[in-house]
């Protein structure tokens, strides 16, 4: 089981504050059943860009530290890419953004409030460029709440949806909770991430959240999302989700 979305690299963005906190995050992730974590530190064009070679070095340092402390979990490179109209060009450059474990899959975040012009065109352009966009926590966006069908269109174009595990517990408010329930009921969830920024808030609610999700989609679908799909991302295996009615 691989965590698709986690801010575990210390002192890079608004995630882990120290290497010791990262160690505790990895410990608690392992206790939850994770064997791997994508380190999805923020990439925000111009305002917050950490060079790829720096990120690779930090991931290696963290992996070495975890192994030295007996934590049997692997951290993989990645970014949570904040949307920019220039995203396709940046991807084509192949010098600034880290995809998930250097695969065709990239995690992309959109603005929480307001609208996103040409959303489906953006998704289509990313796919045409040879990448598969994974839309981070769509349950939290105002523009998808107002127009649920745009997510169905994005899936049909080749996007995947990643929910935050604690959304089901109301961690991000009642609207995000309602949205995530609708996504689960409509077979529109392909991946689950913790979006953990520290070693306390998410992991303490993980088991409760998984039980709630299981009640909605069942054990088989949960296994597909948590295990099968995340391993396909890790190993850069092409797959398409079931068509959304």
Express each pLDDT in 181-237 by its tens digit.
999 999 999 999 999 999 988 999 999 999 999 999 999 999 999 999 999 999 999
List pLDDT tens digits, range 15-30.
999 999 999 999 999 9
Taking the C-alpha atoms of residue 208 and residue 196, their distance in angstroms, rounded to an integer, is: 16
Domain architecture of the chain: domains with CATH:
2-234 (3.20.20.140)
- 90 close to 84: Cβ distance less than 8 angstroms: yes
Taking the C-alpha atoms of residue 87 and residue 42, their distance in angstroms, rounded to an integer, is: 14
- Please determine, for residue 81, whether its predicted confidence score (pLDDT) is greater than 60: yes
**How does residue 147 score in pLDDT terms, banded at 50, 70 and 90?**
confident
How many other C-beta atoms can be found within 10 angstroms of the C-beta atom of residue 138? Answer: 27
List pLDDT tens digits, range 119-142.
999 999 999 999 999 999 999 999
Taking the C-alpha atoms of residue 147 and residue 151, their distance in angstroms, rounded to an integer, is: 8
- Global pTM value: 0.95
| Residue 154: predicted pLDDT | 96
**How does residue 245 score in pLDDT terms, banded at 50, 70 and 90?**
low
């Amino acid at each position: 089981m691989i965590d698709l979305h986690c801010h575990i690299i210390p002192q890079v963005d608004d995630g882990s504050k120290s290497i010791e906190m990262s160690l505790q995050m990895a410990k608690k992730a392992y206790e939850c059943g994770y064997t791997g974590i994508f380190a999805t530190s923020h990439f925000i064009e111009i305002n917050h860009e950490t060079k790829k070679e720096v990120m690779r070095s930090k991931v290696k340092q963290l992996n070495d530290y975890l192994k030295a402390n007996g934590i049997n979990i692997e951290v993989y490179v990645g970014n949570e890419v904040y949307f920019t109209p220039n995203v396709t060009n940046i991807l084509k450059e192949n010098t600034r953004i880290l995809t998930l474990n250097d695969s065709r899959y990239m995690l992309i975040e959109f603005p929480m409030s307001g609208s996103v012009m040409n959303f489906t065109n953006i998704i289509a352009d990313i796919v045409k460029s040879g990448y598969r966009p994974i839309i981070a926590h769509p349950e939290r966006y105002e523009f998808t709440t107002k127009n649920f069908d745009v997510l169905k269109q994005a899936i049909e174009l080749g996007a995947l949806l990643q929910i935050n595990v604690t959304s089901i517990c109301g961690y991000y408010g009642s609207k995000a909770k309602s949205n995530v329930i609708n996504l689960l009921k409509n077979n529109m969830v392909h991946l689950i991430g913790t979006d953990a920024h520290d070693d306390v808030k998410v992991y303490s609610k993980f088991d409760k959240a998984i039980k709630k999700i299981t009640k909605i989609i069942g054990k088989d679908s949960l296994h597909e999302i948590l295990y099968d799909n995340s391993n396909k991302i890790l190993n850069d295996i092409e797959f398409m989700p079931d068509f959304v009615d």
